[in-house]
Each structure stands twice: as C-alpha cells, then as structure tokens.
Amino acid sequence: MYPELFLCIAGSWRASSSGDTLPVIDPATEAELGRLPVATEADLDEALAAARSGFQEWSRVSAFERGKVLRKAAALLRARSEEIAVLLTREQGKPLAQARTEVMNSADLTDWFAEEGRRTYGSVIPARASGVAQLVTREPVGPVVAFTPWNFPVSQSVRKIAAALCTGCSVILKGPEETPASCSALVRAFLDAGVPGNALGLVFGRPAEISGYLIPHPVVRKVSFTGSTAIGKQIAALAGQHMKRTTLELGGHAPAIVFDDADLARALSVLTTQKFRNAGQVCVSPTRFLVHRTLFEPFVEGFVTYASTLKVGNGLEQGVEMGPLAHERRLHAMEDLVGEAVGAGAKLRTGGRRVGNRGYFFQPTVLTDLPVQSRLMNEEPFGPVALIQSFEEDEEAFVEANRLPFGLAAYAYTSSSSRSARISAELESGMISINHHGLGLPEVPFGGIKDSGYGSEGGAEAVEGYLLTKFVSQT
C-alpha cells in the first residue's frame, strides 16, 4: 500500500490548509500512487514559527544527547529499511537492491553525524596582554531550510537533516514532489527517535513558491539545496540578497579518463556499473568517457555489451538491473539530447530509444564520436547515456575534462603514479576517484567547485556549513 501523504508541521502530520494536491506517479506504470499536499503560505508560516521555537529548544539540548537521538533514528531506519526501500522503488523507480542500499547508507550517515556533532570544538587563542582570555566558540547557525531532489530522496535528505540536527539547528525540509513517501518515512524515523516536532518540519508543494517564500524569511538563517545548476544559481542569488548562508550541491558532467596503461577490465567493470546506477540519474555519474586510442574499440565494445544486456524493468521485479527514469520530463530530455547528437553526426552504438510505451523506461545508451558542440557534450544528461570519445595525448584528455563549467566528480584509470599525481593536481573537480569508485562515504567531503556549487554534504566539512564562529575576548 502506498501511504497517504501529509505535511509535517510542528510534529503534526496533516493536509495542506487549502486542500490543494498534486499527483504522485509510479514511473514504472504511470499509475497514480497518491496525492501530494501542496503547502500554502499559511502552512509555511506555521512551519517557520515551529522552526524558530524548535531552534530555541533543540540548540539547548547537549550535543551528547542530540547524538543519542540521532543514533536511535539510524537504528529505526535500519529496522524499517525494507518498508522504506519498497516505497522508494515504487515512487522513484530504482531497483529494490539499490533502494535498500540507499536506506542503509542513510542510517550510516546518520550515525556518523551523531558522533561528529559532538566534535564541534572551539579554541582558546593566547592573548597579547596578561589577564585577557580569547575564546572562539562554534554555535549552530539557526533554522535551516533544505531543498532535496527526487533522485536520492532518502540519502540526499539525510545528508542535510542529520548535519543540521547534529549541530543543534532546526530544519524545514522541502521534500521532492516526485518521491515524497520515502522522504516522509525518513522524517518519521527522526521524529519517532525523539527529535522534537518543532525542530524538524517537512513540506511539499510548488518548489519556486516555497523557496521564494522561505529563503527571504527572517527566521531562516541557512539554505541547503541539491538540484540543477540553473535553479541553484537562482537559489544562491535569492539567498545572497537576504544574506543567508548556503550549501549548494548542483549538476555535474563527470569525465572518466582511461589512459593507455589502465587496467581495462577493471575500468569497464566499475564504470559500466556506475554509469547505469539509478538509470544515470546521479550527480556524480561518469558521463564523458575519454579513452586512449589504443583502448578505445575494446572499451566501446565492452560498454555496448554491458549496456545491451542490462535487464531494464520495474525495480520491484527480481533480477531487474535498471529501472525507469523518475519522471516523464527526463524521458523527453533523453530523446531530445540523443536525437540532437545523432543528427549532428554522433555514432549511436546501442540504445537511444524509449522502451515500450508505458512507464518512463529508456534504453541504456552508448554514443561515440560526438561533436564537441553537441548539447550532450555540454549539458548534464542525467540519464542512462554514456558518451565515449578517444584521445591521443594526455594533454587532450586534461583539456577536455576541464572544458565544462562543472566541477563535481572526475574519474581516471591509470597504472602510473606520476599520472595519478597529475590527475589529482590538474582536474578541476571537487571529488576525484582514481582506479576505483570511492566517493560518498559519510566521513569524506561531498561537493563540487565551479558551477557545481559550493560547500560540502559529507565529512567534517558538511558540519562546518551549519556552524557559525563567535569570538569572545574578556578580562
């Protein structure tokens, strides 16, 4: 059964004050799963009032006690993982095994933030004059508003709410319209664990109306957003106008360079799996594969074999390896992007079409020899599309990798330590993984540079984003 959907304001699960709703669609069947409540300004005002009092209450709870509550939330997530994973697959489409992993990773993230919240140390600075004490303290920044997308509705939400709550901030989460039930189940676990109802609110609705109302509001001190670069820039502009702190985790177009000395089998095994995970709807998905001329044809052949034999279907079915795209917009985006590239002269090696005529399924697709000006080579595809290009000299690969304004993730395969050193130094990317896929663990930073945003959603750097620094000098 798909649950009835509610807003959660001041600890109370309830409908929108206007009764307005939007449909939630199963991407595998196009059936309506439920109705999403659309928050009104009156609802948002109540959420803001709760966040204000919630901050007063929660920031006074000791970090030790807050950590205990968060650890209990992690335990509840593990206990409810199967139920949450099924909801996640139904509304988002990813195969059930990937949904289970997302929920379990979210529990691990929560545990990690529970501990890290206890380490928000300040410092004592030796004074110039005797009898002067100079103290630096770290305090929670205040009520937070967090916007989370539909591709990882549980783990993207938890990165924001656990980081905010561990420091003593209150949070209003604007959940994803397309995938609200799994995100609601996450919030429920935190509230059931003992987070006060006024310290964690959940709203849904029309994103631009919600961000336009909440970000400028004086109660809100911090904004965290994950989504496209285009919307991220609008959010940053609005937040800047009202002097709100921001963390922005935006789009990417990750290069994956395979040098002539790479372990080809290993590169293929990791990169094919990562490319089609969550149907490519992953901000760190490898997308531009830059392969040395000597390995190009075997690499393409390996990719095509993997892509053309991948089992695509309803994520709830046994053995399915790739589900549908999460919503109809992405299906049309894939058709347009692939069509434009092929029209411009790219070679379609496999895929390129919608699967069937019900559900938002798109074939795992491999393209080669793309004109560099094609939209696919410049816009984040955010779908199951691999773009493979060949290069001759290392320099060409570095130039192409750094060509785009994005700088989220980059990958490289080589057996040379001097090349690895050059990759680490020269790739303009917030995260670089060499010879394996090693991103996204709770304790490591997660974030981009350039148009991919700023701030971090992982590691000690994530907690930093929810803290302010206060200096006190006294005699």
Restricting to residues 87-116, name those near ligand NAD by CB under 6 A: none
283 is known as an active-site residue:
yes
Instruction: Check binding of 150 to ligand NAD (CB under 6 A).
Output: yes
The tally of CA atoms less than 13 A away on the side-chain side of residue 163 is 32
Measured CA to CA, the distance from residue 122 to residue 114 in angstroms comes to 18
Torsion sign (Cα): 452, 144, 204, 193: positive
204: helix, strand or coil: coil
Residue from 91, 380, 394, 457 binding ligand NAD (CB under 6 A): 380
Q: What is the nearest approach in angstroms of ligand NAD to the Cβ of residue 434? A: 22
Instruction: Return the closest-CA partner of residue 248 out of 262, 235, 261.
Output: 235
User: Quick one: which of 120, 226, 278, 363 contacts ligand NAD (CB under 6 A)?
Assistant: 226
Q: How far is the CB of 211 from ligand NAD (least distance, A)?
A: 3
Where residue 351 falls (left for φ over 0; alpha for ψ -120 to 50; beta otherwise) is: left
228 lines the binding site for ligand NAD (CB under 6 A) = yes
- Minimum CB distance to ligand NAD smaller for 72 or for 245: 245
22 lies in the site for ligand NAD, by CB under 6 A: no
| DSSP for 136-152, written as a single string | EEEEE---EEEE--SSS
Strands 347-350 and 365-368: antiparallel
Question: Under rule CB under 6 A, which residues in 282-301 are in contact with ligand NAD?
Answer: 283
Given the rule CB under 6 A, which of 27-35, 162-170, 243-251, 293-301 is the region that contacts ligand NAD? 243-251
CA-to-CA distance for 336 and 331, rounded, in angstroms? Answer: 9
Binding residues for ligand NAD restricted to 403-442, rule: CB under 6 A: none
Give the DSSP H/E element, type plus range, for residue 22: strand 21-25
For the chain, the residue count is 475
Least distance between ligand NAD and beta carbon 56 (Å): 27
Catalytic residue among 178, 249, 321, 380: 249
| Binding of residue 262 to ligand NAD (CB under 6 A) | no
Span of 55-63, 80-88, 228-236, 455-463 interacting with ligand NAD by CB under 6 A: 228-236
Considering the rule CB under 6 A, would residue 346 count as an interface residue with ligand NAD? no
Interface with ligand NAD (CB under 6 A), residue from 93, 117, 153, 176? 176
Nearer Cβ to ligand NAD, position 147 or 413? Answer: 147
User: Shortest approach of ligand NAD to residue 254 CB, angstroms?
Assistant: 12
CA dist., res. 92 & res. 418, Å (int): 42
Hey, which residues between 304 and 343 contact ligand NAD (CB under 6 A)? 329
Cβ 226 vs Cβ 147: under 8 Å: yes
Task: Specify the amino acid at residue 453.
Answer: G
Cα separation, 203 vs 77, in Å, equals 20
Which x/- pattern over 194-213 shows residues binding ligand NAD (rule: CB under 6 A)? -------------xx--x--
Chain position carrying tokens 């380490």 = 119
> Least distance (Å) from ligand NAD to the CB of residue 16?
16
Q: Is 238 in the site for ligand NAD (CB under 6 A)?
A: no
Judged by DSSP in three states, 199 sits in helix
Check if the beta carbon of residue 15 is closer than 8 Å to that of residue 102. Answer: no
Q: Which two tokens stand for residue 230?
A: 């285009």
Interface residue with ligand NAD among 147, 190, 296, 303 (CB under 6 A) is 147
Member of 43, 91, 102, 249 binding ligand NAD (CB under 6 A): 249
User: Do 87 and 79 touch, CB atoms closer than 8 A?
Assistant: no
- Asked whether position 455 contacts ligand NAD by CB under 6 A, the answer is no
CA distance 2 to 415: 49
Per CB under 6 A, the list member of 17, 40, 92, 151 interacting with ligand NAD is 151
Contacts with ligand NAD by CB under 6 A lie at 147, 149-151, 176-177, 207-208, 211, 226-228, 231, 234, 249-251, 283, 329, 380, 382
| Active site amino acids | 249, 283
